[in-house]
Structure 1
Amino acid sequence: MLASELEASHVHKIKRAVIVAATVAAVCGMLLVGLYICRSRTNLKVKTERSGIMDYQNNEGHNEDLDLPFFDLSTIICATENFAINKKIGEGGFGSVYMGILEDEREIAVKRLARCSGQGLNEFKNEVRLISKLQHRNLVKLLGYCIQQEEKLLVYEYMPNKGLDSFIFDQTKGKLLDWSKRFHIICGIARGLQYLHQDSRLRIIHRDLKASNVLLDSEMSPKISDFGMARTFGGDQSDGNTKRVVGTYGYMAPEYAFDGLFSTKSDVFSFGILLLEIISGKKSRGFYHPNNKHNLIGHAWILWNEGRPLELLDECLGESCTMSEVLRCIHLSLLCVQQRPEDRPSISSVLVMLGSESAMPQPKQPGFFLEKDSNEGQFLTSKHESSSTNEITITLLEAR
């Protein structure tokens, strides 16, 4: 090749190398910038959340005098064997619950809020703020909390018999709860609700009362737990509304599930469902009678109107029942699940009716009542309604 051609080829190679190097540098630079932005956003999110936690801990915690012990993370890790799988005793919408043993041999239950939960911090704030002020024998006791690193933990007294659902929905364990124990549990839940609705400093609506949120101590006494969804009212206020409906299908009152309206009467509706479950040993959600295809509410309503209410009774109860109490509880459950909130009794009236022999009003047709023939009934069960929830523009359903 001529010298001029060699020189031109050399210059071309240099230009190509420069272009490749510049391209690689540009790509690497863009990747680095992208990584920096992502890391900055992550750090900002963590910093914001920690700032929120610290603001809550410093401002609300001290100003409201929570008087709750702070548990060090290492203490809880040791007590739960680093959150071992065999220590896990429950799981909810915002995290898991672990059994632990402290160095002084006290048994505890640790609620570990999920890191991926966008509502974890609000859940944590709400539960600490509420339960720290509540003292009642039918409410679970909060022993302390832990906010450390990325963990948000609540430490409760340990309930050795776990949730009510583990008994009433199990044919074997259900036999351990004879009618006298079930009636004792019913009355205890009602007393706990009365404290929340009337006797505590603030009126509190639980909004997620269900069998799994009623824990049983060593003496089978009930304690209401999980106040992350609860709302408080001051003064004479007793109701409210929300665009974010949270709770569990099968327990939510109709006005709350569809319009976001909640009140003490929406808790009463949930209590009525719980009563039906305790009496029958059947889950409200997913139950359909094999002969008439009614849901649990509809089945109870039909039996009541046909004069056969005792057929609702759990088979494992046998002859241990006081039939007058059973009939009274079935009657009361149907009063609690009536369609219109104003027709339902207050929880204080419920307690009076549970402890007396006085006459009670006749129940009206309940909410979420399913007829076998859709032309025969006015109300639909949640099974059918769930297909139309997308048409509700003011309410976001967040079932647990």
Structure 2
Amino acid sequence: MLPTWPASVFQYTLMTTDQFLPSGSIGPHMTMAISVVVDGPLDVDVLDGAYDDLVARNDVLRTVLEREGASWVQRVHPHRTARLERSEGPAERVQDFADAWTRTPVPVDEPPLVRGQVVRLDDGTHLVSLVFHHLHTDPPSLELAMSELGALYTARLAGERVPAPPLQFGPYVRQVVDSVAGRLDADREFWRTTIEGARPVSPAPGLERDWGRPPSSSALRLHVLDSAQAAALEKWALRHRTTLFATLFTGFCLSMADRAATRDILVATVFEQRNHPDTKNLIGPFLHPSLLRVRVPEGADWESLTPQVRDVVRDAYDRAHIPTIDILGMHPDVIHAVSTEPVGLLLFQYLPSSGVGDRIAFGPATAHLLANTDVGPTGDVGLMFRLHRKGSGDLVATVTFDRRDLEEELVRELFADFVRRVTEPLAATVR
């Protein structure tokens, strides 16, 4: 019998959503990828063995989600030898090779849930790429996986073995499920009252959607704060007894409330929760989709709104084990508004740096991360602000929008308003 564990909140959400939008959430192209260029000697046969080790030691990469009763479970399949795909090519095409690999399909029912390649380039360097299905990983896990591959390669070169992870993703999810079992009714009631009467916020008056057109997404990669500014804002957040996530969202609420007719901000979000110390470097989908609702009073400023948003974010974070799809199921009127109004449910997300950094050791060789031109899975969401702290400390954003609803000029205007608001505490600190 295969080892079986409960599905995580994120996995449950994707699998359940797929019942309504087949292949939209768990199709083979719902993937995330990472690539590095390795400069220095690289033994490809040893690397191949390290890749096999990566799959063998991470149960989540051999896990298939299956229906069991009214929910979903993870079933861990036995390890079978995994091999890298090998090729050669000119160094000037390295970005093309990396981008092409991001489009490699990863079926959710065919372990391993990762595909790897190594390309020997004609300048003596090597491109190493990994692509994962999003059902089994999250953005920080990409860098963690590549770092682990480098450590496994280094160990093999030295004739050593890396100890197995002290905790696997499935048992971790079981711990989480057991820890909240006694409070589910109270937490569902919290969400029922919190979201009652809410409506998705419109970022501009008079927006209309051409419902006859299919979703047509576009993405912008934008700079938010440099490392010094981000560090200063984080210190400001600590002085005000809040978090960087909540501070960024406060700026978003202030900027959006000036445009919203009701000043009632309802957005989707995603929390990364690695609350157990043994999950810090573990590969897996440690994501918890949730909702945030903030009623911004007239005349609100940073001093008055910061504690309000802090409490909203804290309450949502503490109850993110209730799936968003179940919360919306309590409110058919909200679902109707989300599905019929232009833009629908906005998403605001912040994920911290994985802590890996921009360079990874592969034995005596050094790998540096290669920029990924693919924006990753977006789903059918009208406007998404996805913020990420890079290893350098810089804060960047991927802003995705549906061209059926929004023009790029308006999206850039919205983003500029957000950045202006976010930098206001920094200006006050300087004065």
User: TM-score scaled by structure 1?
Assistant: 0.26
Bigger proportion of residues as helix: 1
Greater share of residues in strand: 2
With CA pairs under 8 Å and 6+ residues apart, which has the higher RCO, 1 or 2?
A: 2
Which of structures 1 and 2 has the bigger CA Rg? 1
